Amino acid sequence: MIAELAKGMGITLKHFFQTPVTIQYPDVQRPVRNRFKGRHELKRYDNGLEKCIGCSLCAAACPADAIFVEAAENTDDERYSPGERFARVYEINMLRCIFCGYCEDACPTEAIVLEHNYELSFYDRQSAIYTKDMLIVDVPVNGRPTPQVVEPGVFTKAIPEMENPA
């Protein structure tokens, strides 16, 4: 019995002299895996147009009912996205979301993508609702911000012709 007790003590002592495995979280951030599902982002095409066409398929697919989309019509003088419509309101309630990624699967234009930000904590419920402004990515370097004034008849369809238009 004494030998076993001593062995146990030895193991704890061995660990005492090893370096701790702790990662000092806010100072040192551990990279997440590539396919990690964190906070959503709404993507843009290279020319700056939004990928989201306001079709609400993500909202329909969402098992937690976390997404709210309200679409509006695009015009060539005020174009947000290729195609007929764009998302005028796009909100995700991060307290409801279970990060399943179904929205990502449902989206026909690959507009919504679950990215790597997992630092989602809020002081109140209201601030847990992410609006379109918070979700959408920055305009790419050689793109223009939306709404854009475009030539008539160029951006009439979303996919597949709109794969990164010039």
Partner 1 sequence: MTLGQIALWGLVVGLVMSLVVITGFAYTTLLERKVLARMQARVGPNRAGYIPLPGRGKQEKKLLAGFMQPAADAVKLFFKEDPTPAKADWLVYNLAPMLAVIPAILILGVIPWAGKIPGLVPEQYDYFAIVPGLDVAALFVLAVTSIGVYGVVLAGWASNSKYAVLGGIRASAQMISYELAMSLSLLVPVMIANSMDLGVIVAAQKGQWFIFLQPVAAIVFCIAALAELQRAPFDLLEAEQELSAGFNVEYAGMRFGMFFMAEYMKMISFSAIAATLFFGGYRGPFVDQVPVLGFVYLFIKIFIGLFLMIWIRATFPRLRYDQLMLFGWKVLLPISVVNFLVVAVFIVLAEEGLFAPILSFFGF
**Residues lying near partner 1 in the complex (CB under 8 A):** 5, 8-9, 11-13, 15-16, 18, 20-22, 24, 27
Query: Does residue 135 belong to the site contacting ligand SF4 (CB under 6 A)?
Result: no
Selected binder of ligand SF4 within 38, 41, 48, 61 (CB under 6 A): 61
Query: Does residue 136 belong to the site contacting ligand SF4 (CB under 6 A)?
Result: no
Q: Which does 98 bind (CB under 5 to 8 A by kind): ligand SF4, partner 1, none?
A: ligand SF4
Q: How many residues bind ligand SF4 (CB under 6 A)?
A: 28
**Could you tell me the smallest distance in angstroms from the CB atom of residue 29 to partner 1?**
13
List CB contacts of 62: < 8 A, sequence separation 6 or more.
97, 102, 103
User: 21 or 166: whose CB is closer to partner 1?
Assistant: 21
**Could you tell me the smallest distance in angstroms from the CB atom of residue 1 to partner 1?**
11
Q: Which does 128 bind (CB under 5 to 8 A by kind): ligand SF4, partner 1, none?
A: none
Give CA–CA dist 15/123, Å, rounded: 39
One character per residue 74-113, x = contact with ligand SF4 (rule: CB under 6 A): -------------x----x----xxxxxxx--xx-x-xx-
3-state SS of the chain is CHHHHHHHHHHHHHHHCCCCCCCCCCCCCCCCCCCCCCCEEECECCCCCECCCCCCHHHHHCCCCCEEEEEEECCCCCECCCCCEEEEEEEEECCCCCCCCHHHHHCCCCCEEECCCCCCCCCCCHHHEECHHHHECCCCCCCCCCCECCCCCCCCCCCCCCCCCC
Which residues would be at the binding site for ligand SF4 (CB under 6 A)?
52-58, 61-64, 66-67, 69, 87, 92, 97-103, 106-107, 109, 111-112
